[in-house]
Amino acid sequence: MAEAEESPGDRETASPRPLFAGLSDISISEDTPVEGEITIPMRSRAREFDSSTLNESVRNTIMRDLKAVGKKFMHVLYPRKSNALLRDWDLWGPLILCVSLALMLQKSSVDGEPGGGPQFAEVFVIIWFGAVTITINSKLLGGNISFFQSLCVLGYCILPLTAAMLICRLVLLAGPGPINFMIRLFVVVVMFAWSVIASTAFLADSQPPNRKALAVYPVFLFYFVISWLILTFTP
Amino acid sequence: MAAAEELAFHEFEEATNLLTETPDAVTTIRSDQLASREHVSVVVGSSVSYGAEELQEEGDKTALLQEEKPQPGFWTFDYYQSFFDVDTAQVLDRIKGSLLPRPGHNFVQHHLRNRPDLYGPFWICATLAFVLAVTGNLTLVLAQRQDPSIHYSPQFHKVTVAGITIYCYAWLVPLALWGFLRWRQGMREHMGPYSFLQTVCVYGYSLFIFIPTVVLWLIPVQWLQWLFGALALTLSAAGLVFTLWPVVQEDTRPVATALLSTVVLLHALLALGCKESLVGMWGGTILSPDVLLPAHVMPMVTMWPGS
């Protein structure tokens, strides 16, 4: 910063002086050529960075994105008040989670009776339209979170419920029974609470203080519906 | 660190330029510049809207302030944001007001106070649709435990049907009511009709009582189900009638009674539809008539007259 200030003036001495100290009495007359170079080191570094990602191997690109997704998974599993999920949002994680959850909720409907479980498209639509509705709701209530940041947070916080679905499917391999049901109920309830707490930790700060409950309730309803879909799944 | 310095440097440069032009201007630092760098900032009408306004007592002042603000066009985001301008305490207060109707205690005048919101109706309808689907599923689970021959399936299509029905009811019936009241507006001098949003609000909040009722309908005792249903319908319809009474009492007697009875009838139809989809009209499920009643309750139920 100091170099940008000193380069147009050739009358200032090169001795170190506090920033902006003599700014008020700099006046450049018209016949004094003003020349120099204002270089901001960060920008050149960024340009280097951009061109180099084109030349790197595909493996590097994929690993970088996977690492970002994995880091966000860790943030969801141990929710602290941090801005990492909000700052660099991405939608890869929510997509992976949503597709795996919808695939696991598929029932092998051999007889094709009506009134079966949710189809893949229904689960997909519920998750994405539910997340969009919650985001629009929180923006209408006056929250200052952007659209995709909110989608990112809600999508990533489905991770505990996807884990619950996996555990439920494994438990169901052992055969139905009341103990089976109690285990599944316990797992789903714990994961539901984890999801709600994780998403509230990220989203609640963006709301005005007297409307937090109004913004959190739809999140609660959203994860409740998904937990219900998981709990009532029978193979 | 470097980013903050960059920002400060830009601000100062602009400020010095402006200062050289107008030496006696007042400089203030606008902190919302920093906010808009990282987030998509949603501009809330004017700064009066939720900061200072909530501190004032609700009364003529708030009405005046609202009228002074220019109404944004319907294509802007601010227009829709004005419908969600409620706090948690206000929503809870409106729900309580819908649960306990009193004669002469007009919901619109007392609770809405010229600030109808869309948050309540929308999320109450959504909750009711999901609660209906979940409870329907639960009754099927309970039925299967009694009688293992019933084939259990999650019946996911119920969510769609329930949702569409409830949303249509909560939006189309107020539309028809509002249209009808406006058409009859010429007969009335005392009080203008309610706006469309106020009507939607009244209907939306009046549906709240059905949420605990639907959950309580899980109890398989038939007379209890009818009792809960009648109680919910009475409270809900009473709220609607007490709200509509000041508007229709200026009208001719036959029209007023016809309107009020239509409103109550439609509400009763909705309640019966909910009960039918869950537990059947006469205490059974759609699959088999009396499979919900546990074996030891059946003799007790047949003893009650009229059930």
User: pLDDT tens for residues B10-32?
Assistant: 545 555 665 565 555 555 544 44
User: Among A55-59, A101-105, A115-119, A208-212, whose mean pLDDT is lowest?
Assistant: A115-119
* Residue A8 confidence class, pLDDT cut points 50, 70, 90: very low
Q: What is the mean pLDDT of residues B108-127?
A: 84
Decide if pLDDT at B59 tops 70. Answer: no
Write the pLDDT tens digit of every residue in A186-212.
Answer: 999 999 999 999 888 888 778 888 888
Which of A222, A219, A208 lies closest to A140 in space, CA to CA?
A208
| Alpha-carbon distances of B129 from B208, B214, B249, rounded to whole Å | 11, 10, 34
Write the pLDDT tens digit of every residue in A52-62.
Answer: 677 888 888 88
Give yes or no for A108 touching B (CB within 8 A): no
User: Among A156-160, B114-118, B251-255, B286-290, whose mean pLDDT is lowest?
Assistant: B286-290
Q: A140 contacts in B (CB within 8 Å)?
A: 80-81, 83-84, 119
CB A142 within 8 A of CB B81: yes
* Residue B262 confidence class, pLDDT cut points 50, 70, 90: confident
d(CA A115, CA A101): 20
| pLDDT score of B161 | 83
In this complex, do A118 and B154 lie within 8 Å of one another by their Cβ atoms? yes
Decide if pLDDT at B225 tops 50. Answer: yes
Identify the top-confidence range among A63-77, A213-227, B41-55: A213-227
Q: What is the mean pLDDT of residues B56-67?
A: 51
What residues contact residue A152 under an 8 Å CB cut-off, 6+ apart?
A85, A86, A89, A90, A91, A93, A94
d(CA B236, CA B298): 31
d(CA B6, CA B1): 9
List, in sequence order, the alpha helices (H) in chain A.
2-6, 41-55, 58-77, 84-87, 92-104, 120-140, 147-156, 159-172, 178-203, 212-231
Is the interface score ipTM higher than 0.85?
no
In this complex, do B50 and A145 lie within 8 Å of one another by their Cβ atoms? no
Instruction: Pick from A228, A229, A234 the residue to mutate for testing the B interface (most B CBs within 10 Å).
Output: A228
For chain A, what are the domain ranges?
86-231
| pLDDT score of A20 | 75
Burial of residue B268 (number of CB atoms within 10 Å: 0-12, 13-18, 19+): middle
Give yes or no for A222 touching B (CB within 8 A): no
CB A133 within 8 A of CB A218: yes
* Residue A32 confidence class, pLDDT cut points 50, 70, 90: confident
User: Among A215-229, B84-98, B143-157, B174-188, whose mean pLDDT is lowest?
Assistant: B143-157
User: Among A23-32, A162-171, A173-182, B246-255, whose mean pLDDT is lowest?
Assistant: A23-32
d(CA B282, CA A147): 48
CB A76 within 8 A of CB A196: no
| Alpha-carbon distances of B185 from B180, B233, B245, B248, B251, rounded to whole Å | 9, 29, 14, 10, 9
Write the pLDDT tens digit of every residue in B232-255.
Answer: 999 988 888 888 887 777 777 888
| pLDDT score of A47 | 52
Among the partner-chain residues A20, A142, A147, the one whose CB lies closest to the CB of B44 is A142
Decide if pLDDT at B281 tops 80. Answer: no
Among chain B residues, CA nearest to A230: B154
d(CA A142, CA B235): 33
d(CA B270, CA B276): 10
| pLDDT score of B29 | 46
Q: What percent of chain B has pLDDT over 90?
A: 5
**Residue linked to tokens 């949503």:** A98
Triad B116, B264, B279: Cα angle to 5°: 100
